[in-house]
Amino acid sequence: MIYLPKYLVIVESPAKAKTITKYLGTKYAVKASYGHLRDLPKSQLGVDIDNGFAPKYITIRGKGDTVKELREAAKKADRVFLATDPDREGEAISWHLAHTLDLDLEGALRVTFNEITPSAVQNAFKQPRRIDKDLVDSQQARRILDRIVGYKLSPLLWAKVRKGLSAGRVQSVAVRLIVDREREIWAFQSKEYWTLQVSLRPSLTKPFQAKLTGRELSSQAEVDHLSSVLQGLPFVVKAVKQTEKERKPSPPFNTSTLQQEAAKRLGFSAKRTMRIAQTLYEGVELGKEGAVGLITYMRTDSTRLAQEALSAAEAYVKTHFGLPYHALRQYASKRGPGVNSQDAHEAIRPSYVDRKPGDLKAALSTEQYRLYKLIHDRFLASQMSNARFDTVQADIQAGDHAFRAVGSRLVFPGYLALYEEENDDEETKEAGELPVLEVDQVLSLVKQLPKQHFTQPPPRYTEASLIKALEEGGIGRPSTYAPIIDTIQARGYAGKEQKRFVATELGQVVVDILAEHFPELVEVKFTAAMENKLDAIEHGQTTAVDVLREFYAVFAEQLEKALVGVEKIEVADEETDEICSLCSRNMVIKAGRFGKFLACPGFPACRNTKPLLKPIGVSCPVCAGNIVERRSKRGRLFFGCSNYPNCGFVVWQKPNETPCSRCGAFTVEKKRRSGEVYSICGNPSCGAVPK
């Protein structure tokens, strides 16, 4: 007799299905939908604007076999559960599944869990609920808004600028931020200024440094004059202030802070971070244990932690660090309770805090291990005591000129025993310990240390700083940051140089058109207000139709005027001396998601492309060719010989101008775990470490 499971459970991915199968028992069959089964058609608007903005959904091409398999399984099951991800998108996938499989939308179909552990999964199946229609409406409103903007604006850009362009409701604001920053940099006028530090010595102790305060130095002439004056003056301690300062740990990660920190610490793009986090959430094979979900759901705005997680962290910290290191902390959402849908979830944390990163290292890929360790350590640090420092501030007078010295000594490491943030390390290095100083003590001037500076323009956005700007502006939501960054590069609106976004001419042209004719679309406050309206739909405070109707009334009028008012703009590609090997045309420079590349202007008749080789002024140590910038298939920058494939020399680190003292080849910078930067020879047959 063949036993058939009574219950069918549908999730999005096979990995997630594999992980939860072992928690549910033989009565349950778990299958994957492989994401969405239905969507708006690509070939048409798919929204009936005159009929309440009703969407027209069709089965996604290639999903026919999956639909057939799930329908057959649903017919055989006594009951169907929809266990897709616990957010708007997951709720919408469940709603589409219910329609596709002819399930009762009023039935208790929906099961959600924030972490894939036996207790979380089993408890979730004890309390299934109906599909949340408000949550679905919110997702649909977002999808319809984005479809209307993209479908209506893209033809305008095709006609007025260039074929193949697109405009997105949220991506356009991100491009606006990058363009505005680029223009700030262009308009910036640098000014010279100087700082002066002096090296002072109390009797019989090591010297320390104090900084001039209370006046600005704008030229070397001022510095030289002051230096000559100081040379003959006594330096007298006027005040010594000792205080104890505390530094608090950061909250556990939400989606945006995880993406920011992974970019800064690990060099991961937002897309890469989310891909790795997805595998850690859905389940990683751990030998005989099988697939185990290692972190909680990774799309969340929340920094809240469940009581169970707080108790686990408390036990771990007390066991591994001691009682003084524990401090119970609960972090409130920045947006306030009930404002954002994603705050229903917890922060991103390890599912099992006792699973130390080191113990799992052999079972995880390198990138999984690094991200898991980041999440694990940040979570535990958030439940640890403040770091305590003894600080000393000494005010020193030389004639009419005031100097200040600041020292710091770590008294109790607290969370720093586990997790040190970038600014923690910098602050500690800047303020070392001061010798014991007393009021009226006279100090000897050892050396003057003037330094010339120039005011700097605001920096271009990195992925981390752009995500932070989007989050602070209320633009987009956790699930949208990575796709936004991907899209603006794919469309050629921004490229990357040294890991920072640079607005292209095309991006500037598109932003200018939108800013003149559709000002709200590139306005941060308007976009943030729209996000709040989508949240209001989710909470039943307004309807999708009302939000869509209000938006479209203004948008349609602007579109009609723009079709007449926007003049044709030519954005010419930069022509090069490189000849296309297929059709002999001069190739042009184009911008893609991974930066600039060479393409044949005869597209689509000729589709020839080549990497754009940018010499960096360093010779190859193997064949004496030029070292040029290159990109890997995943977009990672590396450096290789221009004579490839005849010479296969490559190096990941950028060569610097300092020659190797042993063989004369270039050197490259490397970083030790401590953060110390050092140089080694770029010649593989030498490998010297210059002093």
pLDDT tens, 483-522?
Answer: 999 989 888 899 888 889 999 888 999 999 999 999 999 9
The SS3 assignment for 226 reads helix
Identity (one letter) of the amino acid at 29? A
Distance CA 297, CA 300 (A): 7
pLDDT > 70 in the chain, percent: 93
Instruction: Tell which wins on pLDDT, 333 or 241.
Output: 241
Distance CA 546, CA 552 (A): 10
CA dist list (Å): 594 to 175, 269, 492, 611, 628: 16, 12, 9, 10, 16
Q: What pLDDT is attached to residue 691?
A: 47
Q: Both 375 and 393 in a single domain?
A: no
The SS3 assignment for 556 reads helix
Q: Both 160 and 228 in a single domain?
A: no
Distance CA 223, CA 452 (A): 10
Q: What pLDDT is attached to residue 676?
A: 65
Q: Is the pLDDT of residue 670 over 60?
A: yes
Q: Is the pLDDT of residue 336 over 50?
A: no
Q: Is the pLDDT of residue 174 over 50?
A: yes
Distance CA 295, CA 284 (A): 10
User: What's the CATH code of the domain at 183?
Assistant: 1.10.460.10
Identity (one letter) of the amino acid at 536? A
Across 538-549, average pLDDT: 96
Is residue 257 domain-resident?
no
CA dist list (Å): 476 to 321, 406, 632: 39, 42, 29
Beta bridge partners of 579: 586
Q: Which of 131, 163, 178 is the last residue of a domain?
A: 131
Distance CA 630, CA 626 (A): 12
Q: What pLDDT is attached to residue 685?
A: 75
Across 12-16, average pLDDT: 94
Which strand (E) or helix (H) includes residue 577? strand 574-579
Q: Is the pLDDT of residue 595 over 80?
A: no
Q: Both 473 and 407 in a single domain?
A: no
138, with CB counted inside 10 A (0-12, 13-18, 19+), is buried
Is residue 178 domain-resident?
yes
**Which pLDDT band, with edges at 50, 70 and 90, does 311 fall under?**
very high
pLDDT > 90 in the chain, percent: 70
Distance CA 362, CA 358 (A): 8
**Which pLDDT band, with edges at 50, 70 and 90, does 49 fall under?**
very high
**Number of structural domains in the chain:** 6
Q: Is the pLDDT of residue 686 over 80?
A: no
Distance CA 471, CA 461 (A): 14
Beta bridge partners of 193: 453
Q: What pLDDT is attached to residue 162?
A: 82
Q: What pLDDT is attached to residue 337?
A: 36
**DSSP-derived secondary structure letter, 104:** -
Identify which of 520, 491, 525, 528 has the alpha carbon closest to the alpha carbon of residue 507.
491
Residue with tokens 């600028």: 161
Is residue 199 domain-resident?
yes
Q: Is the pLDDT of residue 430 over 80?
A: no
The SS3 assignment for 285 reads strand
Whether residue 77 contacts residue 102, with contact meaning beta carbons closer than 8 Å, is answered with no
Across 328-333, average pLDDT: 82
Whether the bond into 604 is cis, omega within 30 of 0 = yes
Phi, psi of 552 (to 5 degrees): -70, -30
Is residue 259 domain-resident?
no
The SS3 assignment for 651 reads strand
Q: What pLDDT is attached to residue 640?
A: 86
Q: Both 321 and 227 in a single domain?
A: no
82-86, 299-303, 347-351: lowest mean pLDDT where? 299-303
The two three-digit tokens of residue 497, written as one number: 């140089």
Q: Which of 349, 381, 413 is the last residue of a domain?
A: 381
The two three-digit tokens of residue 465, written as one number: 């700083």
Q: Both 606 and 620 in a single domain?
A: no
443-447, 451-455, 482-486, 668-672: lowest mean pLDDT where? 668-672
Residue range 604-625, pLDDT digits in tens: 889 898 877 778 778 887 787 8
Q: Is the pLDDT of residue 635 over 70?
A: no
Distance CA 95, CA 64 (A): 18
Q: Both 485 and 539 in a single domain?
A: yes
Pairing of strands 7-11, 79-82: parallel
Q: Which of 340, 355, 381 is the last residue of a domain?
A: 381
Is residue 230 domain-resident?
yes
Is residue 643 domain-resident?
yes
Beta bridge partners of 401: 398
**Which pLDDT band, with edges at 50, 70 and 90, does 684 fall under?**
confident
The two three-digit tokens of residue 652, written as one number: 């990941």
Just list the catalytic residues.
Answer: 297
Q: Is the pLDDT of residue 339 over 50?
A: no
User: What's the CATH code of the domain at 430?
Assistant: 2.70.20.10
Q: Both 530 and 435 in a single domain?
A: no
Q: Both 27 and 78 in a single domain?
A: yes
**DSSP-derived secondary structure letter, 322:** -
Whether residue 134 contacts residue 539, with contact meaning beta carbons closer than 8 Å, is answered with yes
CB count, 10 Å around CB of 157? 22
Whether the bond into 645 is cis, omega within 30 of 0 = yes
DSSP-derived secondary structure for 512-547: HHHHHH-GGGG-HHHHHHHHHHHHHHHTTSS-HHHH
Q: Is the pLDDT of residue 335 over 70?
A: no
Q: Both 123 and 28 in a single domain?
A: yes
Domain range for 98: 7-131
CA dist list (Å): 216 to 114, 227, 453: 55, 14, 12
Q: What pLDDT is attached to residue 424?
A: 45
Residues 6+ apart with CB under 8 A from 314: 326, 328, 383
Q: Both 561 and 579 in a single domain?
A: no
Q: Is the pLDDT of residue 675 over 90?
A: no
Is residue 43 domain-resident?
yes
**Which pLDDT band, with edges at 50, 70 and 90, does 219 fall under?**
very high
Q: Both 219 and 180 in a single domain?
A: no
Distance CA 366, CA 286 (A): 15
- For 661-690, give the secondary structure using H, E and C: CCCCCEEEEEECCCCCEEEEECCCCCCCCC
Q: What pLDDT is attached to residue 439?
A: 97
Q: Both 284 and 301 in a single domain?
A: yes
Residue range 106-118, pLDDT digits in tens: 999 999 999 999 9
Average pLDDT, rounded, for the chain: 89
- Return the top range by mean pLDDT from 536-545, 638-647, 654-663: 536-545
**Which pLDDT band, with edges at 50, 70 and 90, does 425 fall under?**
very low
Residue range 372-424, pLDDT digits in tens: 999 999 999 999 999 999 999 999 999 999 999 999 999 999 999 999 876 54
